């Protein structure tokens, strides 16, 4: 699905501008939004196009540029960005596979007339943030699974599977541990029954609370 975005309409719902001494300039806010879209929107769409009003275009910038896979239009020669958005909607060769991001009712009506999907900027941005958060949590989870077990976690797993101090001996195993498989089978069965409600070592996953 291709994506057509009402640039300043989306920019104003993102909070990218900031407030007070930390407020961004219009140009830096545009760049921040474009970086965000290039990172989190381009990969999921066949094309991403964003339209800004020409009156606030950076001096000397071409009217149409590519930014890391995002096609950026400045509405030079149009009274407002909505005019160019409507024209791009009319020109789209596969409108049923087009999603238009704008809270402007005029733009939404133009999209629906052609069978395109229209979504409010704040709703679309909130969904993208949720997807971004899920991706980060997935990546963080993968990194955590690759970490070696702590000493306490190793001790818990050994005890859960019936490997106690009495089974330790110096037969070349780390820490001098030797497994008595008959005793291990008996004790692991008992351990499995006692730990069925909480199959994880104490403290396992507590680092998730810090996120």
Give pLDDT, residue 204.
38
pLDDT (mean) for 59-78: 88
* Multiple choice CATH, 2-139, 3.40.50, 2.30.30, 3.90.380, 3.30.70: 3.40.50
Give pLDDT, residue 172.
44
Q: What is the pLDDT of residues 90-139, one digit of tens each?
A: 999 999 999 999 999 999 999 999 999 999 999 999 988 888 777 777 66
Assigned token pair, 176? 């001098």
More confident residue, 79 or 211: 79
Contact by Cβ (8 Å): 200, 156: no
Kindly indicate the confidence band of residue 151, based on its pLDDT and cuts at 50, 70 and 90: confident
- Residue at token pair 């960005």: 81
Partners of 65 in the beta sheet?
Answer: 72
More confident residue, 184 or 125: 125
Residue 120 carries which DSSP code?
A: -
The length of the chain, given as a count of residues: 211
Domain boundaries, the chain: 2-139, 148-202
């Amino acid at each position: 699905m291709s994506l057509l975005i009402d640039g300043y309409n989306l920019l104003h719902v993102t909070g990218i501008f900031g407030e007070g001494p930390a407020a961004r300039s219009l140009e830096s806010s545009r760049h921040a939004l474009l970086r965000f879209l290039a990172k989190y929107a381009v990969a999921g769409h066949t094309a991403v196009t964003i339209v800004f009003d020409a009156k606030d275009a950076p001096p000397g910038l071409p009217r149409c540029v590519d930014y890391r896979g995002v096609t950026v239009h400045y509405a030079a020669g149009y009274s407002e960005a909505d005019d160019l958005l409507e024209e791009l909607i009319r020109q789209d060769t596969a409108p049923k596979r087009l999603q238009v991001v704008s809270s402007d009712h005029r733009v939404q009506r133009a999209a629906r007339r052609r069978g395109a999907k229209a979504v409010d900027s704040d709703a679309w941005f909130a969904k993208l943030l949720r997807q971004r958060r899920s991706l980060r949590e997935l990546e963080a989870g993968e990194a955590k699974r690759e970490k070696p077990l702590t000493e306490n976690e190793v001790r818990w797993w050994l005890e859960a599977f019936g490997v106690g101090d009495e089974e330790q001996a110096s037969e070349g195993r780390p820490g001098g541990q030797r497994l008595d498989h008959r005793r291990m089978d008996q004790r692991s069965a008992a351990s499995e029954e006692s730990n069925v409600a909480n199959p994880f070592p104490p403290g396992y996953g507590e680092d998730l609370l810090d996120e």
